[in-house]
Amino acid sequence: MRAPLIAGDGPLARVRPLVVFVVVIGLFAAGVLVGGPIGAGLLGLLAVGVGVLLATTWSVLRPSERMLRVLVLGVLVVVAIAQLR
């Protein structure tokens, strides 16, 4: 049995964690390998998703978890900007 991160019945509650992992890794790899504006767009799309999840879960995260996730979001944004150069 898998336990949900946050109890709920929204659309993400029915998504298997393995599927999410594969999609995130795929988007990141495609963004880095493609490069240029398309790669930056893929990484930007991933950053928006991470930002939405961070905002949604902010109230239930401990400060250390918040800091780590904001750091991950920041690194993702920096990599996306670097793809534009």
For the chain, the residue count is 85
- The predicted model scores a pTM of 0.80
Q: How many other CB atoms are there within 10 angstroms of residue 43's CB atom?
A: 25
Q: Cα torsion for 15, 20, 23, 25, to the nearest 10°?
A: -170
Question: What are the pLDDT digits (tens) for 20-62?
Answer: 899 999 999 999 999 999 999 999 999 999 999 899 889 999 9
d(CA 58, CA 68): 12
pLDDT digits (tens, 9 = 90+) for 58-84: 999 999 999 999 999 999 999 999 999
**CA gap 49, 55 in Å, rounded:** 10
Residue in 27, 61, 69 with CA at minimum distance from that of residue 44: 27
